[in-house]
């Protein structure tokens, strides 16, 4: 029987993040003994993430989390969107990787990996800022030594240029319905914003309701792969639906309600 597996993921971890909000998350995760995947930005230059003064003990803090069973992923390089491309799984313009030459992407990934290594952190897991990447990103990841990418929009994992693309179909906390593999994505620093405060409540609900289905990245990454061509076709259909069909259905729904 297919068992539901849920991976909890936190993005935008960097020395200038809102530590109070992330510590709120850690307190909850500890309560339910959950070990998440956390995306660390090697050299964050994103002004939106310059929330606090750089914490001098940041890298020691990350190493302690890794020792406790947290899986560290490299989340981009500088978190700066210098390309005006969408990438292959999002319709949002702006990317740190998609649309840039292969050699440039390799250079970014190598520099980011070197920074993590200099702090004693080794990882073979990657996910891109804004979920934005292209085929050159996948090729570059393979060359630089990564094995996993947590940004795919397919129902099942698939292999592409030696990289295992793992399902991450939502940009937030998914509704757990059918037996499947889900990635719940959280940005703790956003919880201070009134329109985003509900995301903390969604984390609480997820942990209270589905903690028995939440697994470590190690277990999540061992899921079986589907056929690459079939999964990529389903991925393209999903992206098209989210970008073009779903918005029209939502408009139609509210139009009917008003009648």
Residues 171 and 34: their CA atoms lie apart, in Å, by: 20
- Whole-Å CA distances, 127 to 76, 96, 124, 148: 7, 11, 10, 8
- Per-residue pLDDT of 133-175, as tens digits, reads 999 999 999 999 999 999 989 999 999 999 999 999 888 898 8
Q: What is the pTM of this model?
A: 0.93
The pLDDT score that the predictor gives to residue 1 is 43
- Per-residue pLDDT of 174-208, as tens digits, reads 888 888 899 999 999 999 999 999 999 999 999 99
Query: In percent, how much of the chain has pLDDT > 70?
Result: 99
Among the listed residues 136, 141, 104, the one whose alpha carbon sits nearest the alpha carbon of residue 126? 141
């Amino acid at each position: 029987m297919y068992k539901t597996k849920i991976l909890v993921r936190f993005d935008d971890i960097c020395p200038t993040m809102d530590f109070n909000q992330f510590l709120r998350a850690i307190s909850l995760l500890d309560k339910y003994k959950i070990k998440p995947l956390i995306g660390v930005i090697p050299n964050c230059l994103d002004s939106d993430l310059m929330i606090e003064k750089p914490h001098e003990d940041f890298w020691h803090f990350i190493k302690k989390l890794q020792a406790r069973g947290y899986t560290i992923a490299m989340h981009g390089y500088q978190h700066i969107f210098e390309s005006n491309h969408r990438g292959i799984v999002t319709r949002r313009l702006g990317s740190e990787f998609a649309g840039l030459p292969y050699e440039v992407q390799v250079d970014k990934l190598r520099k980011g990996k070197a920074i993590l290594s200099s702090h004693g952190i080794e990882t073979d897991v990657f996910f891109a800022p804004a979920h934005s990447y292209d085929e050159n990103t996948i090729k570059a990841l393979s060359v630089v030594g990564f094995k996993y990418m947590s940004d795919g929009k397919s129902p099942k994992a698939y292999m592409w240029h030696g990289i295992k693309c793992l399902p991450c179909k939502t940009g937030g906390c998914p509704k757990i319905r059918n037996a499947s593999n889900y990635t719940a994505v959280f940005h703790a620093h956003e919880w201070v914003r009134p329109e985003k405060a509900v995301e903390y409540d969604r984390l609480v609900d997820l942990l209270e309701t589905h903690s028995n289905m939440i697994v470590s990245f190690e277990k999540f990454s061992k899921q079986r792969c589907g056929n690459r061509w079939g999964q990529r076709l389903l991925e393209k259909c999903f992206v098209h639906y989210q970008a073009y069909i779903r918005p029209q259905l939502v408009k139609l729904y509210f139009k009917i309600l008003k009648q």
